[in-house]
Structure 1
Amino acid sequence: MRWREVLEYCLAKPGAWQDEPWESDVVVKVGCKIFAFLGSESRATVGVKCGASREMADEWLLRHPEDAWVMAYIGRYGWNSLRIDGTIPADELTEAIDASYEAVLSKLPAKERPSR
């Protein structure tokens, strides 16, 4: 997958919208919460919630040691960065994005959840 494809995939989710809370750093939100950190196109990574705990998210690090790493600052909450143009198959990337979206969506108040 390419960065632009990942962005388009994220934006296709119900209620998803693009934001740039920091200059040149693209994120995708549902409601008021981020579910995917894409940064700039040159980075070719996506930051997603990979598990309810750090231990669960560490499974990604074991499966893809060259292409997955703990995100700075929020990694302790189960967030990892995944290389888009590396060895992680596209279907695994989309599954990770789906799981991150669902995890963030489930924590939103009912009034902020999009109708499906």
Structure 2
Amino acid sequence: MNRDELLAQCLAKPGAWEDQPWEGDVVAKVGPKIFAFVGTDTVGVKCAPTREAADEWLHRYPADAAAMAYIGRSGWNSLSIGGAIPDEEILEAIEESYRWVVSKLPKRDRPKPADQTS
């Protein structure tokens, strides 16, 4: 999987949109909140609700997972694309990050289920 494919997967989620809040940095948001930081060869996602739980990624993939600077204490990790972490696990991590972020949004900012209109 490459960066463009990964970004496309992020943007395919209900209510997801691309933003560049800092020059040269691409993020995927749902409502006003980021659920994925999309780099050239990494993706930053919320891997768990706590740092201790997110550390499982670091133990399983020590060369390809790292706690993110500044927000790592909140369970955010940077995962390498194209390394030891299988693409399926990266996609699952993105899905989980999306779900956690959506669950914390006020109801007015949550995307409507795909089968609802208006």
User: What TM-score range do you get, normalising by the shorter chain?
Assistant: over 0.9
Match of 1:110 in 2: 107
Query: SS state of the match for residue 111, structure 2?
Result: coil
C-alpha offsets along residues 67-114 of structure 1, whole Å, 9 cap, x if unaligned?
000000000000000001211001100110000000000000000001
Aligned residues: 113
What secondary structure, in the 3-state scheme, does the structure 1 residue paired with 2:62 have?
A: coil
CA distance in 2, matches of 1:91, 1:15: 22
Work out the percentage of aligned pairs sharing the same amino acid.
64
Is the aligned partner of 1:84 residue 2:81?
yes
CA RMSD of aligned residues (A): 0.6
Amino acid paired to 1:16:
A
How do 1:16-55 residues align onto structure 2 when only pairs under 5 Å count?
Answer: 16-39=16-39, 41=40, 44-55=41-52
Matched, 1:93 2:90: yes
- SS of match in other structure, 1:97: helix
Q: Which runs of no fewer than 5 residues in structure 1 stay unpaired?
A: none
Aligned structure 1 segments of 4 or more residues deviating by more than 2 angstroms: none
Q: For 1:103 and 1:6, how far apart are their aligned partners in 2?
A: 19
Separation in 1 of the partners of 2:59 and 2:3?
23
Distance (Å, rounded) in 2 between the aligned partners of 1:3 and 1:86 = 13
| Superposition TM-score, scaled by structure 2 size | 0.94
Structure 1 residue 47 displacement after superposition: 0.2
Work out which of the two has the higher radius of gyration on C-alpha atoms and give 1 or 2: 2
The answer to whether structure 1 residue 71 and structure 2 residue 71 are counterparts is: no
TM-score normalised according to structure 1 size: 0.96
